[in-house]
A and B are shown apart, each in its own frame.
Chain A
Amino acid sequence: MRRRVVITGIGTIAPGGLGTKAFWELLTSGRTATRRISFFDPSPFRSQVAAECDFAPDREGLTPQEIRRMDRAAQFAVVCAREALSDAGLGPHELRPPRTSVVIGSAVGATTSLEREYVVVSDGGRLERVSHEYAVPHLYGYLVPSSFATEVAWAVGAEGPTTVVSTGCTSGLDAIGYATDLIREGSADTAVAGATDAPISPITVACFDAIRATTPRNDDPEHASRPFDRSRNGFALGEGAAVLVLEEAERARRRGAHAYAEIAGFASRCNAFHMTGLKPDGREMAEAIRAALDEARLDGTDIDYINAHGSGTKQNDRHETAAFKRSLGPHAYRTPVSSIKSMIGHSLGAIGSIEVAACALAIEHRVLPPTANLHNPDPECDLDYVPLVAREQRTSAVLCVGSGFGGFQSAMVLARPDRRAA
C-alpha cells in the first residue's frame, strides 16, 4: 500500500509578521507588507521596493554564536523549524533521528552574507585578489549553502537523508516535493522540509534591475505588487521562510497528530526554452499540473482553489493563466485563484514553501487569501483571482504552482486530510 504524507506542523517567517499566526492574519486581512527598501539605501537602484521582515535574531531564540555564524536565511529556517516542531507537538526527543530527514530549499543561498563579506575582503570592490586575512571563519558555510540544512538538522536532531534543494524560484515547492518522495520511498518517516531566502541585498536588487523584472513603482510601495492587474510592472522582491513537519500518514494518525493537509501529488517539468523567458502558452506548467493531479488520483475538476505563482510580471501572469486554462479546461473559470505575492512579495526560493503553508492554512481555516491590489484585471487574465478581500470557502483539493528561472515549472496538490483514501 502506498505510503501517504501529511503536514502536521507549520513554521513561517514572512514580511508583515513573524510566526504563522501573524502570517495568516496578514494574508486574510488583504494588507500588504511591501515598503521602500530599508536594509540599505535604495536610491541608486531602479526598483526600490521590497517586502522585508522585521526580524531581530536575538529576539527569536538564537544565541550570539548562532547569529554570528548563520546567514539571515539560515536563521529564518532554524526559527521556522522550531516553530513547526512545536506546532506538530513534537518535542526534541520524540523524533527518531535516523528516520528524520531535512530538506531545505533556497534559490540564492547566503547571498546577503556573501555580499557583506565580499565588500570587506575586496575593500569595497577595489581588490580583485581579495584578502584572506579579513575573511570570517564562517565564510565557507556561506559559500556552500548546504549549511542551511546542517543548521536545521542540528536544531531538530535529524540524522536521516539531509540536503538543500536549489531550483531557483521553485525551490520552495521542490524541497517539499523532495521530502515527500523520501518519506514515500521509505527512507524517512518524518521530514522537516521547507525553504528560506534572504535576498534583499544590493547585488540581487541590481541583477533584477538589469532585466527589468522587479517593479519600479517606487512612489507607491504598498501597492507595487499587482499580480494579474493591467498595470502590473514586475515583482516586489521579498524575503522569508516556511518550514513544515511532514509525516508518514499512518504514524501521524497513530500518535494523534493534527494534520493540516495531505500532500497528495507533486510534479515538476522544465520549459527548456530560456533561462528567464516564458512562452505565453504555459504548456509545460500545464503538464506539471496534469502530472501532479495524476499522482493525486484527482481530476482537474476536483481542484477548488489555486495558489498561483502570480509574481506580477507581465509575462508570468499571462503564462500561468494560460497554463490553468490548458490543464483545467473550462473548470479554470470556476476555480478561485490568488497570489499572495501581492502581499508579501516574491522571496525567490522561499516563496513556494510559504505558499504551501498558506494552502494548508486555507484548507484548515476554510478561508482563501485574496490577491491584493487587483483593481483593473488584465483582459488576458480573466479568471477569478479573489480580488482584494479574503473569501470564506471550504476546500478539499488545492493546487499550488511555481515557475522559476532556469525554466522550472512545479505543481503540488494538497488535499483535505479527511478525504477518502484513493
Chain B
Amino acid sequence: MNRAVITGLGVAAPNGLGVDAYWSATLAGVSGIGRITRFDPSGYPAVLAGEVPGFDPAAHLGPRLLPQTDHMTRLALVASDAALADAAVVPQRLHEYAMGVVTASSSGGFEFGQRELEKLWSGGPQQVSAYQSYAWFYAVNTGQISIRHGMRGPSGVVVADQAGGLEAVAHARRRIRRNTRLVLTGGVDGSICPWGWVAQLAGGRLSGRDDPGTAYLPFDARACGHVPGEGGAILVAEDLDCARERGARQVYAEIAGYASTFDPAPATGRGPALRRAVQLALADAGLRPADIDVVFADAAGVPALDRSEADAISAVFGPGAVPVTAPKTMTGRLYSGGAPLDLAAAALSIRDGAIPPTVNVGQLAPGIEIDLVRGAPRRVPVAAALVLARGYGGFNAAMVLRALS
C-alpha cells in the first residue's frame, strides 16, 4: 500500500506568518493572542482573538485575486505557495491529474459574506457582487488553490468543525493510497468579523476574559472557554516513493495512522468516543501507546471537555505517562485550521526533537492527570506524535505522525 508522507509545510498563524516565524515563536512561548483589531470588539462579551500579524495580501497575490477573495482564502493561497516552496515542488513538472487538493472548512468566507449580506439588505439585490457566487462557500479554498497551481486530480472539502482538519489530511492519505501522487491538504480558517463573532459567541464556548494571559487555559482549574483565531496550515502530502524519486529535500513524517468517531447522541447517556478514536488510530499505525512521544491535545478549554479529553488520554496511556501539549494556547483555536497547524507543529517536533510548550496554564483542574509540557520546550527525541481534534456536535479525530526510520 502506498505510504503518505508530509514533505512541505505552509503556515499562517497568529504568532507567526510563515513556518519559521511560527515555530520559533512557538518554541519561545510567544503568543499571538490579543485584542481584536479586524473590527472594534467593544461591547461584545469576548474581545480577544489570535490574528495573523503583518499580512499584506497585495505583496503575495495578484491584483485580480483581491476583489474575489475573502481574507482567509488569501491566507490559504499564500500558505499553499509556501508549502510547495518548502517541499521544493514545481507543480508544472508533475502530471496535472496526479495532484489534488483536499481542505477542511468550517464557515467559509464569512467576512466576505457579511459584506455582501449588508449590501443586499441595505441597498438591494443589485448591489451583490458577482464574486459572492463563490467567494464565501466552503469549497472556495480548494477551488482557488487548484486553479492557482493547475492541480486537476481528485480534490475535496470536508466540514467537521475543528476535527475537519484531520479528516482532510486523512482523506489526502486515502487519495495517495489510490494513486494520486501529491495532495495539498490542511485548512485555513477565519471568521473574525462582527457577524462571525456573534455566531461563534452563540456556541457558548468563548472565554469572556479580556487578559490574553488568562483567557484560554485548557486543563487549568480556571478554564473558562477558548479564544478563537484565524489561520492554519497547508501541508504537502505525497506518496513516499514519488517523493524519493523526485529527490524531495525533506520528509517531515509519515501519516501513519488515523481514525475518526462520533460521540453517542446526548439522549443515550453514553460517554464520548475520543478514546476509541485514539485506540483505532494507534492500531491503524501499528503502534502501542508506549511508542507515542507526545500528544497534541484538542484543548477545548471548557472544563467538562478538558476533563473528558484528559480522561481519554489517561485511559489509553496511563495517568501522566505521555507528554501532552497545546501550542494552540499561543494562537487560539483555529477551527478548520487548528488541527493542520497542530500537525505542522508535530512534524516540526519530530524534526527538531523538541516538544513546544503550553502557555499560561497554571494549576491543573482536579482529576486531570496529564503531563502537560510548560515553560521551556522539552528536548527529547520525538519519533511518533499523536494529534487530537474534536468538533462541536461530537466529532472526534486522532492522527499519528511518525518519523521515517
Is the Cβ of B155 less than 8 Å from the Cβ of A139? no
Interface positions of A from 201 to 218, Cβ below 8 Å from B: 202-203, 205-211, 213
Answer yes or no: A333 CB below 8 A from chain B CBs. Answer: no
B155 in complex: contacting residue of A145, A178, A211, A270, CB < 8 Å: A270
Is the Cβ of B196 less than 8 Å from the Cβ of A143? yes
Interface positions of A from 141 to 190, Cβ below 8 Å from B: 141-147, 149-150, 153-154, 157-168, 174, 178, 181, 185, 187
Q: Which of B105-113, B243-251, B300-308 is the contact stretch?
A: B105-113
Asked, given contacts A271-B152, A272-B150, whether A146 binds B174 with beta carbons under 8 Å apart, the answer is no
Is the Cβ of A407 less than 8 Å from the Cβ of B125? no
- Closest CB of chain B to A62's CB: distance in Å? 15
Given A162-B160, A203-B116, 20 extra CB contacts under 8 A:
A44-B125, A107-B139, A118-B121, A125-B117, A125-B118, A125-B122, A129-B43, A131-B198, A142-B199, A146-B161, A153-B262, A154-B265, A159-B262, A167-B157, A178-B171, A209-B126, A269-B97, A270-B146, A275-B68, A275-B134
CA of A368 to CA of B257, assembled, Å: 44
Is the Cβ of A146 less than 8 Å from the Cβ of B159? yes
Asked, given contacts A98-B276, A146-B160, A267-B154, whether A124 binds B121 with beta carbons under 8 Å apart, the answer is yes
Contact with A along B234-266 (1 / 0, CB 8 A): 000000000000000000000000011111111
21 A-B residue contacts at CB 8 Å? A107-B137, A121-B198, A124-B121, A128-B39, A132-B44, A140-B204, A140-B392, A141-B392, A145-B138, A153-B265, A159-B264, A168-B134, A168-B139, A202-B120, A206-B128, A206-B132, A210-B129, A269-B154, A272-B96, A405-B133, A406-B137
Answer yes or no: B167 CB below 8 A from chain A CBs. Answer: yes
Asked, given contacts A122-B118, A205-B125, A408-B143, whether A210 binds B159 with beta carbons under 8 Å apart, the answer is no
CA of A122 to CA of B195, assembled, Å: 8
Which A residues lie at the B interface, using CB under 8 A? Answer: 44-46, 97-98, 102, 107-109, 114-115, 118-119, 121-122, 124-126, 128-132, 135-147, 149-150, 153-154, 157-168, 174, 178, 181, 185, 187, 202-203, 205-211, 213, 267-276, 284, 287, 404-408
Asked, given contacts A109-B138, A157-B265, whether A144 binds B143 with beta carbons under 8 Å apart, the answer is no
Contacts of A187 in B (CB 8 A): 259
Is the Cβ of B260 less than 8 Å from the Cβ of A161? yes
With both beta carbons as reference points, the residue of chain B lying nearest to A103 in the complex is identified as B158
Which B residues lie at the A interface, using CB under 8 A? Answer: 39-40, 43-45, 68, 96-97, 100-101, 105-108, 110, 113-114, 116-126, 128-130, 132-134, 137-140, 142-144, 146-147, 149-161, 164, 167, 171, 174, 191, 194-204, 259-268, 273, 276, 335, 391-395
Contacts of B126 in A (CB 8 A): 206, 209
**Which of A118, A125, A160, A162 counts the most B-chain CB atoms under 10 A from its CB?**
A162
**Which of A132, A138, A284 counts the most B-chain CB atoms under 10 A from its CB?**
A132
Contacts of A146 in B (CB 8 A): 106, 159-161, 164, 391-393, 395
Asked, given contacts A108-B137, A143-B191, A166-B159, whether A407 binds B122 with beta carbons under 8 Å apart, the answer is no
B121 in complex: contacting residue of A122, A142, A210, A406, CB < 8 Å: A122
**Which of A144, A168, A405 counts the most B-chain CB atoms under 10 A from its CB?**
A144
CA of A267 to CA of B393, assembled, Å: 30
- Closest CB of chain A to B401's CB: distance in Å? 19
Contacts of B39 in A (CB 8 A): 128-129
Asked, given contacts A153-B265, A160-B261, A213-B133, whether A272 binds B139 with beta carbons under 8 Å apart, the answer is no
Asked, given contacts A138-B202, A146-B106, A210-B130, whether A44 binds B152 with beta carbons under 8 Å apart, the answer is no
CA of A287 to CA of B110, assembled, Å: 33
A166 in complex: contacting residue of B96, B157, B261, B268, CB < 8 Å: B157
Is the Cβ of B202 less than 8 Å from the Cβ of A136? yes
CA of A140 to CA of B120, assembled, Å: 22
B133 in complex: contacting residue of A163, A268, A276, A287, CB < 8 Å: A276
Is the Cβ of A268 less than 8 Å from the Cβ of B155? yes
Is the Cβ of A274 less than 8 Å from the Cβ of B142? no
Is the Cβ of B142 less than 8 Å from the Cβ of A167? yes
Contacts of A114 in B (CB 8 A): 199
CA of A135 to CA of B201, assembled, Å: 9
Contacts of A135 in B (CB 8 A): 198-199, 201-202
Is the Cβ of B203 less than 8 Å from the Cβ of A140? yes
CA of A128 to CA of B130, assembled, Å: 21
Is the Cβ of A163 less than 8 Å from the Cβ of B395? yes
A405 in complex: contacting residue of B143, B202, B335, CB < 8 Å: B143
- Closest CB of chain B to A44's CB: distance in Å? 5
CA of A272 to CA of B151, assembled, Å: 6
Is the Cβ of A275 less than 8 Å from the Cβ of B200? no
CA of A181 to CA of B203, assembled, Å: 32
With both beta carbons as reference points, the residue of chain A lying nearest to B195 in the complex is identified as A130
CA of A150 to CA of B45, assembled, Å: 27
CA of A135 to CA of B276, assembled, Å: 35
- Closest CB of chain B to A226's CB: distance in Å? 21
Is the Cβ of B260 less than 8 Å from the Cβ of A140? no
CA of A126 to CA of B45, assembled, Å: 21
Contacts of B174 in A (CB 8 A): 181, 185
- Closest CB of chain A to B332's CB: distance in Å? 16
Contacts of A272 in B (CB 8 A): 96, 146-147, 149-152
Asked, given contacts A129-B40, A274-B147, whether A158 binds B262 with beta carbons under 8 Å apart, the answer is yes
Is the Cβ of B157 less than 8 Å from the Cβ of A165? yes
- Closest CB of chain B to A263's CB: distance in Å? 15
Contacts of A118 in B (CB 8 A): 114, 117, 121, 195
CA of A404 to CA of B159, assembled, Å: 18
Is the Cβ of A210 less than 8 Å from the Cβ of B132? yes
Is the Cβ of B158 less than 8 Å from the Cβ of A165? yes
Asked, given contacts A159-B263, A167-B157, A287-B97, whether A128 binds B118 with beta carbons under 8 Å apart, the answer is yes
Which 10 residue pairs of A and B lie closest in terms of their CB atoms, listed nearest first? Answer: A406-B143, A125-B121, A140-B203, A150-B393, A139-B202, A166-B138, A125-B122, A143-B199, A206-B125, A207-B132
